[in-house]
């Protein structure tokens, strides 16, 4: 699994239970990519990461976390 | 399933069917030279060889232009599949070159009918390799990152 974690699923529910389809449409990607992101199976480009953060009105680090190896 | 993944499955099936049709034709006709002897058949086949890749290219282009159909993850997979496609084409051309050189070395000439056969086989291999590359790309992403 990726060492880049994210809170997309949590943020979706906090924003009126936004659907994956709705988020995908807002940020300009497919629903399959949102699913892959939530499952930690895909690391987005910086651009897509910013678009996701902005769609929730939060900073990048409130969405994505880098889990450094100890 | 992602739209691109679906398209890759369709392409894979089309590639396998085309391979089957080609092999069946060759088995029925028995000889490559007899296969292209009929003039009308030859012109029809020329149209097919140009038409099929053109339609395929247009369909791919239409898919790639739709933002709801394809995104950065899909584009990344397509880019990677290009490597598999390129390798498959190069190896198939190498195989043709070696085989024809070994078979027709004594005669010092290769029947012209093989040109069409080489084109068709490379087109089919290209379609199969790209589809396989795309499907492998999705499989890898879904497995782990």
- pLDDT, one tens digit per residue, over B128-143 is 999 999 999 888 877 6
Q: Residues B43, A12: contact at Cβ < 8 Å?
A: no
Could you tell me the CA-to-CA distances from B114 to B10, B15, B57 in Å, in that order?
28, 20, 24
Residues of B with CB under 8 A from a CB of A: 1-3, 5, 67-74, 141-142, 144-145
Query: How wide is the angle at C-alpha A20 spanned by C-alphas A45 and A10, nearest 5°?
Result: 85
CB–CB of A41 and B73 under 8 A? no
Q: List per-residue pLDDT tens for chain B, 145 residues long.
A: 777 888 888 888 888 888 888 788 778 877 777 667 777 777 877 787 788 778 877 877 776 776 667 888 888 888 888 888 999 999 999 999 999 999 999 998 998 888 888 988 898 899 899 999 999 988 887 765 4
ipTM higher than 0.85? no
Quote the DSSP letter at residue B38: S
Mutate which of B71, B76, B78 to disrupt the A interface (most A C-beta within 10 Å)? B71
pLDDT digits (tens, 9 = 90+) for A5-64: 899 999 999 999 999 999 999 998 988 899 989 988 888 999 999 999 999 999 999 999
Tokens standing for residue A50: 């910013």
CA of A28 to nearest chain B CA: how many angstroms apart? 7
pLDDT for res B68? 67
User: What is the sign, positive or negative, of the torsion defined by CA atoms of B109, B113, B117, B118?
Assistant: positive
Distance of alpha carbon A7 from alpha carbon A65, whole angstroms = 8
Distance of alpha carbon B12 from alpha carbon B132, whole angstroms = 7
Q: For chain A, how are helix, strand and coil distributed in percent, rounded to 5? A: 55, 10, 35
Distance of alpha carbon B57 from alpha carbon A38, whole angstroms = 33
pLDDT for res B144? 55
């Amino acid at each position: 699994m990726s060492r880049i974690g994210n809170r997309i699923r949590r943020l979706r529910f906090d924003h009126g239970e936004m659907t994956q389809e709705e988020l995908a449409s807002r940020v300009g990607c497919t629903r399959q990519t949102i699913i892959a992101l939530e499952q930690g199976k895909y690391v987005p480009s910086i651009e897509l990461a910013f678009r996701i953060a902005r769609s929730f009105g939060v900073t990048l680090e409130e969405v994505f976390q880098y889990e450094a190896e100890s | 399933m992602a739209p691109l993944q679906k398209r890759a499955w369709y392409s894979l099936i089309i590639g396998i069917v085309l391979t089957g049709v080609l092999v069946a034709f060759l088995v029925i006709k028995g000889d490559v030279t007899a296969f292209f002897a009929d003039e009308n058949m030859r012109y029809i086949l020329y149209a097919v060889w140009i038409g099929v890749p053109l339609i395929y290219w247009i369909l791919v282009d239409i898919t790639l232009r739709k933002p709801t159909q394809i995104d950065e993850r899909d584009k990344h997979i397509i880019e990677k599949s290009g490597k598999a496609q390129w390798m498959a084409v190069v190896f198939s051309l190498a195989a043709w070159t070696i085989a024809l050189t070994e078979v027709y070395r004594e005669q010092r000439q290769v029947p012209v009918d093989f040109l069409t056969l080489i084109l068709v086989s490379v087109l089919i291999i290209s379609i199969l390799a790209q589809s396989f590359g795309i499907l492998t790309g999705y499989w890898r992403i879904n497995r782990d990152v």
